[in-house]
A and B are shown apart, each in its own frame.
Chain A
Amino acid sequence: MGPDLRRESRQDKLSPFVPPPVHAPQPSLWSSAPAPGPAPAPPAEAHQATSSPGLLSSLWAGAKGVGSKVYHGLTDWNFEGRDAHNGKSPTQEEISQDPSWRLMGPKETIYHDNNRGAAERKYVRDDPGSTLGLGGKEAVIDGDTGKPMEAGPYQATYNYCNPAKGGIGDMSLGGIGRNLGHFALDVIPYWFGGTVRGDEGTTFGQRMLGPENYKKANEKWEGAKGWVGDKLSGVGKGISAGWHGLTDWMGGKDTDQQHDQ
């Protein structure tokens, strides 16, 4: 970053007899100053143009750094905060000895299932020490190894608001509050940010539906596209055949008229 000294020294040697330079492409705000080319040497204006983006790049990099820190601070509750609240993952043995852990069903577990081998098992329990006693701890056991999934995109995540035990059919005030709270505080943040910081492995759509459902939806869409394509192609062929028939018929009429004349 910063001004290019080599370019400055070359610029001193510029004379009025040197042919006008070919203008180099302007770097964007996001790119750093380009390396100097062998010839021709840029004029003073070009120097101004290239040194200015260097400064802007520095500013941009600084702004990005500040933005990143602010983003980290604002999303801390969603990543590091959840890990801290959830604590150490219990083993299957520990879960078996504590009936406060409740097993979730297969479709309730889609966001924690790696879709490899045996299905993962997800357990939830209330956290009485949480704010208003709404929170809940989670544990995810790898279906293949039987060990807790402690890291990665399928790991257990603390719930700031556990869903209602009665499920989505719980229409009591508390039940509705819990389900809406869980959706707002735990599900939507996952859709947008993933389970762990920097979770670029999955897209918003995959997070929303779960990887397996997303794959199925994609297959259905491809099938629908193929079906529509076939239908449109058939309609197009029909129109084309009709048009050809019409033009043939018109051509025949013209010939008949010429014969009559």
Chain B
Amino acid sequence: MSSAISRLGTWAASVMVALVGCNTDTRIEYQHDPTGRIETELSLTRPELAPFRVDGVVAAPLFRMITPQSTQVWIKLWSTSSKTVSVRSALLAGSGAQSAQRQSFATEQSTLTEKPASKGVQYGLILLGELSNEALASMAKDGQAQFSIELRVNPATEYQPLRFVITRHATKQWATH
């Protein structure tokens, strides 16, 4: 009898804990909102993408947490046909009071936008580097960070500077299985 009551009590406590949301988590993500939507919409013609387009290629920075300690910085390059794209002088900096904090990814890298997505859109990826989550959180303490790159689409053309405002997003996530 007491065992049954004990079990019932544990159940009640379990349900209480579940109800108050013990199995939820707050996920922090850093995104560039205008280009972040390309992933789902797969449209490169939206007017807000114009500042991030060079010769038909739209550049989208991608901050991907790879472990609880570090985040990878990628550039995802979207186009409607295969193009050779080069990126150099990438720089991530804090904004406002955190502007002194900087992390550079200076190495020049190239890729071909040949991977098919959908709706006639193709993409290529460049991994710029990695930084600690602590450093990234510190840079975006005010909710934003500045990211800049130089990009060219054809080896014969000049590099073009591009600037992005990276925004910090917190979302409530539930335990998944």
A15–B64 Cα gap in the complex (Å)?
A: 89
B109 within 8 A of partner (CB): no
Interface string of B1-42 (1 = CB under 8 A from A): 000001001111110111000111111000000000000000
A56 within 8 A of partner (CB): no
Structural contact, B25 and A186, CB atoms closer than 8 A: no
Structural contact, A221 and B176, CB atoms closer than 8 A: no
A109–B177 Cα gap in the complex (Å)?
A: 8
A122–B65 Cα gap in the complex (Å)?
A: 12
Structural contact, B10 and A159, CB atoms closer than 8 A: no
Query: What is the interface size of chain B, counting residues whose CB is below 8 A from a CB of the partner?
Result: 35
A87 within 8 A of partner (CB): no
Contact of B176 among A104, A128, A216 (CB under 8 A): A104
Structural contact, A205 and B11, CB atoms closer than 8 A: yes
- What secondary structure prevails in chain B residues at the interface with A? mixed
Within 8 A of A (CB), among B132-166: none
A214–B15 Cα gap in the complex (Å)?
A: 10
Structural contact, A103 and B66, CB atoms closer than 8 A: yes
A213–B176 Cα gap in the complex (Å)?
A: 15
Structural contact, A209 and B173, CB atoms closer than 8 A: no
Q: Which residues of A contact B173 (CB under 8 A)?
A: 104-105, 107-108, 163, 167-168
A106–B22 Cα gap in the complex (Å)?
A: 12
Structural contact, B65 and A167, CB atoms closer than 8 A: no
Interface centre among B13, B175, B176 (most CB of A within 10 A): B176
B46 within 8 A of partner (CB): no
A102–B17 Cα gap in the complex (Å)?
A: 27
Residue of B nearest to A220 (CB): B13
Do A106 and B25 form a contact, CB below 8 Å, given A208-B18, A221-B10, A221-B13? yes
B72 within 8 A of partner (CB): yes
Interface string of B71-85 (1 = CB under 8 A from A): 010101000000000
Q: Which residues of A contact B174 (CB under 8 A)?
A: 108, 163, 167-168, 179
A96–B125 Cα gap in the complex (Å)?
A: 13
Q: Which residues of A contact B74 (CB under 8 A)?
A: 99
Q: Which residues of B contact A109 (CB under 8 A)?
A: 175
B62 within 8 A of partner (CB): yes
Structural contact, A209 and B18, CB atoms closer than 8 A: yes
B47 within 8 A of partner (CB): no
Structural contact, A107 and B9, CB atoms closer than 8 A: no
A182 within 8 A of partner (CB): yes
B171 within 8 A of partner (CB): yes
Interface centre among B9, B22, B118, B173 (most CB of A within 10 A): B173
Within 8 A of B (CB), among A100-127: 102-112, 119, 121-122, 124
| Besides A99-B72, A205-B14, A224-B13, 14 new A-B residue pairs in contact (Cβ under 8 A), listed by A number | A103-B65, A103-B68, A105-B25, A105-B173, A107-B173, A111-B177, A157-B177, A163-B173, A167-B174, A187-B177, A195-B177, A210-B23, A214-B10, A216-B17
Can you pick out 15 interface pairs between chain A and chain B where the beta carbons lie within 8 Å of each other? A96-B72, A99-B62, A99-B127, A105-B25, A105-B27, A108-B174, A111-B176, A121-B68, A163-B174, A167-B172, A169-B172, A186-B177, A208-B14, A210-B23, A217-B17
